[in-house]
Amino acid sequence: MPPDPPALALDEPWDGVRRVALGPFAVVLRGFAREHAPELVAVIGTIAAISPFRHMVTPGGWTMSVAMTNCGQAGWVTDRTGYRYDAIDPMTGRPWPAMPRTFADLAAEAAATAGFSGFRPDACLVNRYTPGARLSLHQDRNERDFDQPIVSVSLGLPAIFLWGGKTRAETVRRCPLIHGDVVVWGGPDRLTFHGVHTLADGEHRLTGACRFNLTFRRAL
């Protein structure tokens, strides 16, 4: 396995390129969400006040290192019974917070910029990474319509995004993501295996010692 890429300075553009192609239908939009970041982070706090972050348990019994919550018509959850979308937050017994317009509009604009016009998400998974947290390679397969893209927004500490292939055995590329970057993938790239490398220590002026990731989907 090749060595990890060197650590990035906070908010330092790693290659000066505004668009980085991961595949024919997958692209990183550098800094696309940066000007909206303060509002996005404030809204995350509002969402978490209603549906708190929690470390979910996988069907295999593993507690996830990433803390999660959701907003929208449905939220992604995992427990010993499986992976699924649910309109009710199992922790609170109430519906998930509504999708904020600023979230939905940003996701739609990013999708259109990447070539997927007409995308309107109905679910947003909010991930909170602290140093040491990671997300193993996986496919997003719990949505009903694979014709709809995935839009993923990075806020706070930099991370290494893992971009694989259609099987776990294929070569994995490592793509640094910094504050404000947005990744969009769909079409034939929609079921690509992807993940996040172990988050390194750091401090960000907006989010502190953590990274937030907003993942927008059309789930229902």
State mean pLDDT over 104-112: 97
Asked whether residue 93 is domain-assigned, the answer is yes
CATH code, 28: 2.60.120.590
- Domains identified in the chain, total number: 1
Local confidence band at 6 (pLDDT 50, 70, 90 cut-offs): very low
Per residue in 188-211, pLDDT (tens digit) is 999 999 999 999 999 999 999 999
The per-residue pLDDT of the chain, averaged, comes to 92
> Does the residue 8 lie in any domain?
no
Q: What is the dihedral of CA 181, 187, 189, 195, to 10 degrees?
A: 50
Distances (CA, A) of 74 to 54, 86, 91, 140, 195: 16, 5, 14, 15, 22
Given phi > 0 = left and psi -120 to 50 = alpha, else beta, which region is 101? alpha
Residue 84 forms part of a structural domain: yes
- In which domain, by residue range, is 132 found? 19-217
Q: Which pLDDT value is given to residue 36?
A: 97
- Does the residue 4 lie in any domain? no
